[in-house]
Amino acid sequence: MSTPEHVVIIGNGIAGITAARHIRRISDKKITVISAESDFFFSRTALMYVYMGHMKWEHLKPYEDWFWEENRIELKQAYVEKIEASSKMLFLRGGERIYYDKLILATGSVPRFLGIEGEDLKGVQGLVSKQDLELLEENTRTCKSAVIVGGGLIGVELAEMLHTRNIPVTMLIREKAFWQNVLPLQNAQFISRHIESHGIILKHETELKEIKGTNGRVTSVKTSAGEQIDCDLLGISVGVKPNITFLEGSEIEIDHGILVDPYLQTNITDVYAIGDCAQHKEPKNGRKDIEAVWYTARMMGETVAQTICGKPFPYNPGHWFNSAKFFEIEFQTYGYVSANPGEHEQHLHWEHPDGTKAVTIAYHPENFRFFGINTFGIRMRHEVLDRWLTDERDLEFILSHLREANFDPEFYDRYEKEIFSSFKHQVRERLEH
């Protein structure tokens, strides 16, 4: 019997590990996962809960340590310095070399910095890796106040984390309201209000201009409004970028990320890229070319596993969905609700007077086809909304069946009636004009 093919996966995040698990499920290939970040796979999205004291580091590991040996997935903590595609060889830091038959790049992302002078000062950091979390612990040991740049998901996580340590936080947000490049303005303002209700200071339509420091440590920042704000910690959360610097100079074609075809293969045969680091040459279904999202990374892992195991499968994600939590408010979205709808998309907004629940539904103004829904503080059933999107239901159907999609715990107050009458009112007004 010939030796089994050796699949090497660089990166032990959700993308790489999902690929490894699915390859193991359907094949007997030899699997090695290389990561420089941590010994074992952990849930990056939960790093905040360790800092907040909800969980310990070991709780972040979705699989117990015996799992890897039992499933014959070899984990290797090492840093890959160079890939030589012609000889299918990986060069590790320290001189070791590894031969692969198939290579999957799942190296994830690193925080994006702004390129402003002073970003290398102590106390300036992002939050993506386990090392970033350790650094944050170090940086906030004596921190009196913090500034966070960027109104996105990592920004609000960082704010919530610091809030639990009683560190005053000011956030600089480029847009009119929180995460407004993704959320419609009304939703974004709704979240801004909620964040402010915790005592976080939000500076909207404000950007970072200058970073000042003494003795190599950040002391204050200057904003585009000319304001100077003192801080011992400057959190940069203006987004992430693919972690691909080690590929520069290799034959693997890169742009912002690693360029892949619909089969998640790079320009080099037998080399694939998935997750945050992959950039789709031909994104499908109106998707972005780089989607640094937990769920899409998992899907790419599932897809590439099929391709590698002899069933070539193009990556073709189904309906878009995502979720997040802003302090107490859970957010779920299914389908597309555009931040800036054009003339072919209209929105209905409902907001509960207590400021913790809201629903936005997007639809086509002429044929009333349902595009997508944003819910805040109300849980929705993925399966139901996924089906409605597939069935191309219209607004009337969605509104009258909204109750079926509710996923809130038992005995919770229901708002479908309120939402229904509020929306009926809005639609009637629009039709009359």
Partner 1 sequence: MSTPQHNMSLSGEPPATLSTTQKVATGIGWTGVFIFTLAIFNLQLPQMFLWLGLGLISLGVIIFANDQYYGKPAGVKNDGIWFKSMTARGVLAWGTAILLTLFYVVLYWFPQYLGYNPDGANSGLVGLFDPLSRFISGQPASQWFVYGTFYTLAILIFGYKFLLKYRHNKYEVLRTFSVMFFQLGFAFLIPEILMRLNQPYFNPVNIWPLNYDLFAGYKLSEFFSAGNIGLLMLFFGIASIFVITPILTYFYGKRWYCSWVCGCGGLAETAGDPYRHLSDKSRATWKFERYIIHTVLVLVVVMTIAVIYSFLNENPDQFWLNKNVFLLGSAAFLVLLFGLIWIFKRHRLAKDAKKGAIISLSIVLAIIAAFYFSGMTYGYLLRQWYGFLIGAAFSGVIGVGFYPIFGNRVWCRFGCPMAAVLGMQQRLFSKFRITTNGGQCISCGNCSTYCEMGIDVRAYAQKGENIVRSSCVGCGICSAVCPRGVLKLENGALEGRINSEAVLLGNDVDLLDLIRQQKKATRDPHSSPFNS
Residues 197-226 close enough to bind partner 1 by CB under 8 A: 197-198
Q: 113, 246, 368, 407: which one contacts partner 1 (CB under 8 A)?
A: 407
Range in contact with partner 1 (rule: CB under 8 A) among 58-66, 79-87, 266-274, 337-345: 58-66
Q: What part of residues 277-336 is at the interface with partner 1 (CB under 8 A)?
A: 294-295, 298-299, 302-303, 306, 311, 313, 315-319, 321, 323, 325, 327-328, 330, 332
133 near partner 1, judged by CB under 8 A: yes
Q: What are phi and psi of 45, to 5 degrees?
A: -65, -15
> What contacts 24+ positions apart, CB below 8 Å, involve 373-377?
373/333, 373/334, 373/335, 373/337, 373/398, 374/183, 374/184, 374/187, 374/331, 374/332, 374/333, 374/337, 375/331, 375/332, 375/333, 376/187, 376/190, 376/191, 376/329, 376/330, 376/331, 377/329, 377/330, 377/352
What is the distance between the alpha carbons of residues 272 and 107, in angstroms, rounded to a whole number? 11
Q: What is the closest distance, in whole angstroms, from the C-beta atom of residue 61 to partner 1 in the complex?
A: 8
421 near partner 1, judged by CB under 8 A: no
Task: Provide the 8-state DSSP code for 57.
Answer: G
Q: 69, 412, 425, 428: which one contacts partner 1 (CB under 8 A)?
A: 412
For partner 1, the closer CB: 266 or 332: 332
For partner 1, the closer CB: 96 or 251: 96
Range in contact with partner 1 (rule: CB under 8 A) among 3-11, 56-64, 178-186, 244-252: 56-64
Q: 5, 29, 63, 82: which one contacts partner 1 (CB under 8 A)?
A: 63
For partner 1, the closer CB: 165 or 209: 165
Range in contact with partner 1 (rule: CB under 8 A) among 92-100, 125-133, 270-278, 366-374: 125-133
Q: 5, 29, 49, 185: which one contacts partner 1 (CB under 8 A)?
A: 49
What is the distance between the alpha carbons of residues 46 and 279, in angstroms, rounded to a whole number? 25
Q: 84, 89, 131, 176: which one contacts partner 1 (CB under 8 A)?
A: 131
Structure tokens at 227: 């304001």
Q: 9, 33, 50, 258: which one contacts partner 1 (CB under 8 A)?
A: 50
Cα–Cα distances (Å) from 339 to 72, 262, 273, 353, in that order, read 45, 27, 29, 23
Amino acid of residue 364: H
Q: Among residues 77, 53, 73, 56, which one has the least CA distance to residue 65?
A: 73
382 near partner 1, judged by CB under 8 A: yes
State the residue for tokens 């692969």: 100
Q: What is the largest CA-CA distance in the chain?
A: 76
26 near partner 1, judged by CB under 8 A: yes
Count of residues that bind partner 1 according to CB under 8 A: 73
For partner 1, the closer CB: 253 or 418: 418
Which SS3 state, helix, strand or coil, does residue 422 take?
Answer: helix
Cα–Cα distances (Å) from 287 to 281, 282, 331, 429, in that order, read 11, 9, 20, 33
Range in contact with partner 1 (rule: CB under 8 A) among 78-86, 201-209, 245-253, 377-385: 377-385
25 near partner 1, judged by CB under 8 A: yes
For partner 1, the closer CB: 138 or 230: 138
Range in contact with partner 1 (rule: CB under 8 A) among 117-125, 134-142, 175-183, 359-367: 134-142
β-pair type (89-92, 80-84): antiparallel
Q: What is the closest distance, in whole angstroms, from the C-beta atom of residue 250 to partner 1 in the complex?
A: 26
379 near partner 1, judged by CB under 8 A: yes
107, 277 contact by CB (below 8 A): yes
State the residue for tokens 């910095």: 113
Cα–Cα distances (Å) from 225 to 133, 206, 219, 234, in that order, read 30, 6, 18, 17
